[in-house]
Amino acid sequence: MVSVISWDRHARLTMRKERIHNKCDGFTVLEMVTSLLIMGVIIGTTVPQFSAFTASFERRIALDIFSSDLRRMRSEAISSGMRACLKFNVNATAYDVGIDYLPYNPTLGPDTILYSRSLPRGFRVTGAQEIILDSRGFVIGTDGISTSHTLNLVDGQITFAIATISPIGIVRGVQ
């Protein structure tokens, strides 16, 4: 008789554990809605920050590309012993860098184009139509006299960098 009672008690405890276990198998609707709401808040706060980070990164890339091309242009002028010219297209979204032989003709641009570059979409450079360096790497005007240029790098309508190129070829004031 004792073994039958203990067996019955054991069966009831096992069934009770199974019922408790079956109740914990899934999520309730309230738990699902709460977790979705929390994920929505997290995503809603990180997306604007990610967009700002991406825009900042793209601006930095455009600035690095342009300043690198200015340094390369200066080294080409010095190494070739000729004038180097950077001439912008009409929209100032692309430019050609080349070597120019005397006398300089501003309507034609450089005599030999070394390379062309397009700025990333939406970027442009304002402030000068062309930049000319003499054979020593100094900035000159179309008349051959030393000058300086102030250039603005623009993303859409926002100026994000202003640089002044002095007559000796030093870039100052990049933001």
Distances in Å between the alpha carbon of 25 and those of 11, 20, 64, 147?
21, 9, 56, 78
Asked if 131 contacts 124 with a C-beta cutoff of 8 angstroms, the reply is no
Phi/psi of residue 141, nearest 5 degrees: -90, 180
Please check the confidence at residue 172 and state whether its pLDDT lies above 80: no
pLDDT in the model for residue 56: 83
Reported as type and span, the H/E element at residue 69 is helix 29-80
Please check the confidence at residue 142 and state whether its pLDDT lies above 70: yes
pLDDT in the model for residue 97: 92
Please check the confidence at residue 141 and state whether its pLDDT lies above 60: yes
CA 95 to chain centre: 19
pLDDT in the model for residue 105: 72
CA distance 151 to 175: 12
pTM greater than 0.75 (yes/no): no
pLDDT in the model for residue 3: 54
